[in-house]
A and B are shown apart, each in its own frame.
Chain A
């Protein structure tokens, strides 16, 4: 996970044991905002 894919709200959610809202809907690979398939990389 690079700097751009991590935020304070995500950090707070992870430390509280919750899945961040975005990850709940987009569990796949996200790079710089691109919604990718595994074979894309």
Chain B
């Protein structure tokens, strides 16, 4: 059933099994899985079926530290969430991501890789991709492998599941229903308060409540709840909002490479090589440019290295060498100081403080990019495929540029999963430490970020949480 709170007041006398706050990839996946299993679900979305400024402006906020996107353009606040504009890149966590305990407690997941992998096939079906990932070891000595990305059409979750949710007897979708408060005591949430844009209120009673409001707002709203309710609903002093992560994305340089059938595919280092070098995950790719760039690069190479330059010029004359852009997208180490905080000046229309995002990249983040580039370059040189030219800021050790891609619009961490409330906000079952029935869903759960796009894993985690909440029984 579908209820639009914008159309006027709603009174709900139902007792739901699960109330899900937020209808993006995580919330919709969770609702559909639970609804199909016969659970009574309230799916509450702050926006409507389409984009509206009055909803979107609630995502406004400020950023401190490294250059980053405006927070109200980095995500979408209406039914379907950011799946309304995602790119469709699909690749989940790797075994290496769950084997980083040697790097310290900040890196330790409370679940195993296999526990997440069990949901990959179902998640792939939802985003309409083949689940048979075929990575290919390119060079064992260099620890270089070619990694397989799949591409969703991309599936827009609101379109895919709208009719099923509307027709469902078990799922009630409340649109324009903005979360404003949790009601409860003794570590148990009893009900959720929602408000529409005319300031009418709706209370939803539920046995369990799940925050699925995205990689920034899960933190913002939980911080707000901590401020309002102290330790009555969950443990005090959890690192809420902390260990927030992104995937730095930058153009590292350019390349002249001979005809090569492995261009435009991603390369990464093996787990063994990452461990040997003491770095994290990084994907590098060369993407073809036009002929004019080839001429420019050949001329530049001739000036600094006449020997190899003449070789490149000869191949260019025969159209046997091309110019490429050299990109990297990589994993950022979890850093407690990177965080979502509450603004002490600005509030949204419901009185909740806006987000203040503190985000910087650490030396290990740059090392991850440099070391991965080093191994990729060693392969290019050894196979005599061509030469790489790095951007000035890379080889001069300067600040990251602010006019590049910057990051992936991937918001991770903040209410992350951990073996201990000292390092995370939820346990291995996504339940907030100290609470009996408050859960988190979405990429804010991620203990570490990996280097891959987050959506497929968001779906995997949502399926897993659904099973924990009874869908799998």
Q: What residues of chain A have their CB less than 8 Å away from a CB belonging to chain B?
A: 4-7, 9-10, 13, 20-22, 24-26, 30-37, 39-41
Contacts and interface: CB of A to CB of B under 8 A. Distances in A.
B377 interface: yes
Contacts of B392: 4, 33
B117 interface: no
Given A21-B363, A21-B370, A34 B397 contact: no
Contacts of A6: 396
A33 B366 contact: no
Contacts of B381: 35, 37
Interface in B375-403: 377, 381, 387-392, 394-398
Contacts of A39: 307
Contacts of B363: 21
A25 B370 contact: yes
Contact of A26 (B374, B387, B391): B374
B67 to A, nearest CB: 18
Nearest to A6: B396
Contact of A32 (B300, B370, B394): B300
A22 B397 contact: yes
A29 to B, nearest CB: 9
Contacts of B367: 21, 25
* Chain B interface size range: 20 to 34
B316 to A, nearest CB: 16
9 contacts: A24-B370, A25-B371, A25-B373, A30-B395, A33-B394, A34-B300, A34-B388, A36-B308, A40-B307
Contacts of B11: none
A35 B366 contact: no
Given A25-B374, A33-B395, 5 more contacts: A13-B397, A25-B373, A34-B304, A41-B305, A41-B307
B306 interface: yes
A32 B396 contact: no
| Overall SS of chain A's interface | mixed
B305 A34 contact: yes
B253 interface: yes
Nearest to B390: A33
B357 interface: no
A34 B374 contact: no
B204 to A, nearest CB: 52
B301 A4 contact: no
Contact of A7 (B253, B304, B396): B396
Nearest to B308: A40
Interface in B256-313: 300-301, 303-308
Contact of B389 (A21, A22, A33, A37): A33
Given A31-B304, A34-B304, A35-B377, A7 B398 contact: yes
Given A33-B390, A35-B377, A22 B370 contact: yes
Instruction: Find the residue from A9, A13, A31, A40 having the highest chain B CB count within 10 A.
Output: A40
Interface in B440-463: none
Nearest to B387: A34
B305 A36 contact: yes
Given A39-B307, A40-B305, A32 B371 contact: no
Given A41-B305, A41-B306, A41-B307, A33 B253 contact: yes
Contacts of B303: 32
Given A34-B305, A35-B381, A36-B308, A9 B398 contact: yes
Nearest to B307: A40
